[in-house]
Amino acid sequence: MNWRLALMLAPAGALIGASGGHAQDSAGGVSSAATHSDGRSIYVEICQACHMADARGGGGAGMGIPALADNPNMADKKLVIGVLVNGRGGMPWFTDMLSAEQIAAVLTYVRSDFNAYADPVTVAEVRAAIGSATAQ
């Protein structure tokens, strides 16, 4: 399934928020739908559609969407930043939809609220990963 189509099928409030950056409909085009800037809201608006409200993932219809809750991979900030910046498997990249600040916020939320990793993901760490991805 096209990941953009999957996002459109997300809960009714998906991709519509009160403040923050703008989500892109396609590369180079900014839409009028804004996303929230706090991690919890971003998770609810975007991530929860696939990873579920409890972050336990989903395996229906052969999708095999991994759990984010109690996931030891969340300890590796470079790994999880890389997944959002570069995509992985069926997971799309989000640099054309979320700002570095929003990526840092949602990862910090997932790592702390669904896992026991209290150290925040910083905007500088996300920007460094974005810079590395565009340099390749």
Instruction: Tell me if 112 sits within 8 A of 39, measured CB to CB.
Output: no
Q: What is the number of other CB atoms lying within 10 angstroms of the CB of residue 59? A: 11
Task: Report the pLDDT averaged over residues 8-21.
Answer: 34
The model's pLDDT over 78-88, given as tens digits with 9 standing for 90+, comes to 999 999 999 99
pTM listed for this prediction: 0.72
Q: Which two tokens stand for residue 131?
A: 């810079």
What is the enclosing helix (H) or strand (E) of 108?
Answer: helix 100-113
Single-letter code of the amino acid located at 30:
V
The model's pLDDT over 103-114, given as tens digits with 9 standing for 90+, comes to 999 999 999 999
Single-letter code of the amino acid located at 47:
C
Question: Domains plus CATH for the chain?
Answer: 3-135 (1.10.760.10)
* Banded model confidence at residue 136, pLDDT cuts 50, 70, 90: low
The model's pLDDT over 20-71, given as tens digits with 9 standing for 90+, comes to 333 434 343 333 345 567 999 999 999 999 999 999 998 765 568 999 999 9
Please name which of 65, 58, 77, 67 lies closest in space to residue 128, comparing C-alpha atoms. 77
